[in-house]
Amino acid sequence: MSPLAITACTVTSAIGRGLAATLESLRDARGGLVRCTFETVVLDTWVGEVPGVDATAVPKPLADEYDCRNNRLAWLGLTADGFAEAVERSAARHGRRRVGVFLGTSTSGILETELAYRRRDPESGALPEDFRYRGAHNTFSLAAFARRALRLEGPAVVISSACSSSAKTFASAQRAIAAGVIDAALVGGVDSLCLTTLYGFHSLQLVSRTPCRPFDAAREGISIGEAAAFALIERAPSSLDADAVLLLGCGESSDAYHMSSPPPDGRGARRAMELALEGAELSAAAIDYINFHGTGTASNDAAEARAVAEVLGREIPGSSTKGATGHTLGAAGALEAVICALAVRHGLMPAGINTTQVDPTLPVRYLLKNRSVPLRRVMTNSFGFGGSNCSLILGRAT
């Protein structure tokens, strides 16, 4: 594939709003997980909650149609780091119809529906009059909201493939730009805390009672988080800033194995990584760091470790930043792509925090401490329920 320039990006998660706060947390190896007090949830677990989401006001008249916790988080994200202004400049440059919207979410604004179900009419069972399915609950709500908020007129779609959703937006947008359908794309993802995922992962016994410890010998599951992460990708100009970060490769595959667990040999993950390398026309040796999907469940980390060792070798330095942010589900791919962009730009391999004893049975070189080192190319993995895998490669032009 032709490399694309990431001309702007932003990230908001439990470790900070915006790039500077996120970088500072990463440099300080500071996590954002707290004991879960979300809504009325009674579960012995930790969450990566973004402070201030509930107090965020989506401006009128957008709020009338789209106000929900997920879109409040989206708004927090879009208005950080001058990101909305960067999209506006891109729209002015290319034309509003030439900027596409590709966003990922797994649960969109389903929290609104969960809450509305508590307020059903006792006689008729009807949902309350103020419930709006289209703007709040529907999976597309996120992209419709962002497109309207940024006054874009190009094609728009939500990709919803569970925890690979927002990683896959980079791949779809890259193809659409290559095909000439659009000149630039808003990509990324937003997922927010809700009862469906907290109780759902609990029902699968995949939720950790302690802050999650990816790749630790004593890991016992995930900590759920929330995040908004966005990037603006465009054709790379002929001359690039020294600081420019490019999207170099995307690889996607399906496990065809099981709805909620990967094949133990990690073959689907392996294929996604191989395809990303092929797309980037790079050898495995060209990758300096891997940001693992690394959810912290026993089987996911084991399968991923095996796949990464086979493709990139056992010596590739890597970490999962989910110990810091929690697993932000449909937003995780974009969140970790932006963390990778920060890693490349600032020469930082972030530590996998919370983890203390790396599982000796896993063939990985897992980073327990930050490393400052120039990075040229990094890979990030995202794997979702239904066996949906996506690997991205980001890096410098030279």
Partner 1 sequence: MSAPGSLAAFVDGIGVLGPGLSDWPAAARVLRGETPWQCAATVLPPPQCLPAAERRRTGMPVRLALAVGLEATSRAGADPAALPAVFASSGGDGVNCHEICQVLASEERQLSPTRFHNSVHNAAAGYWGIATGATAASNALCAYDASFAAGLLEALVQLRAERTPVLLIAYDTGYPEPLRRTRPIPDAFGAALLLSPAPSRTSLAGVSVAMGDGPADRLADGGLESLRRAIPAARVLPLLGQLASEKPGRVAIEHLDATALVVEVSACR
Give the active site residues.
163, 293, 327
Backbone conformation region of residue 81, classed left if phi is above 0, alpha if psi is from -120 to 50, else beta: left
Shortest distance in whole angstroms from residue 132 CB to partner 1: 7
Q: Which is nearer to partner 1, 144 or 349 (CB)?
A: 144
Q: Count other C-beta atoms under 10 Å from residue 89's C-beta.
A: 13
Q: Which is nearer to partner 1, 42 or 55 (CB)?
A: 42
Shortest distance in whole angstroms from residue 186 CB to partner 1: 14
Instruction: Provide the CB-side half-sphere exposure for 9 (13 A, CA).
Output: 29
Shortest distance in whole angstroms from residue 175 CB to partner 1: 4
The token pair that represents 305 in the structure block: 């470790």
Shortest distance in whole angstroms from residue 156 CB to partner 1: 6
Q: Which is nearer to partner 1, 55 or 259 (CB)?
A: 259
The binding site for partner 1 (CB under 8 A) comprises 97, 106, 110, 113-114, 116-118, 120, 124-127, 131-134, 138-140, 143-144, 147, 153, 155-162, 168, 171-172, 175-176, 178-181, 195-196, 199-204, 252-260, 267-268, 271, 384-388
The token pair that represents 125 in the structure block: 């069972």
Give the Cα separation of 50 and 33 in Å (integer): 10
Give the Cα separation of 149 and 352 in Å (integer): 35
Question: What's the burial of 66, exposed, middle or buried (CB within 10 Å: 0-12/13-18/19+)?
Answer: buried
Question: What's the burial of 392, exposed, middle or buried (CB within 10 Å: 0-12/13-18/19+)?
Answer: buried
Give the angle 371-376-377 at the CA atoms, nearest 5°. Answer: 95
Give the Cα separation of 201 and 359 in Å (integer): 23
Q: Which is nearer to partner 1, 286 or 385 (CB)?
A: 385
The token pair that represents 84 in the structure block: 């909305």
Shortest distance in whole angstroms from residue 16 CB to partner 1: 28
Shortest distance in whole angstroms from residue 207 CB to partner 1: 12
Q: Which of 222, 228, 96 is nearest to 166 (CA)?
A: 228
Question: What's the burial of 190, exposed, middle or buried (CB within 10 Å: 0-12/13-18/19+)?
Answer: buried
Q: Which is nearer to partner 1, 25 or 192 (CB)?
A: 192
Q: Which of 302, 301, 349, 350 is nearest to 325 (CA)?
A: 350
Q: Which is nearer to partner 1, 148 or 346 (CB)?
A: 148
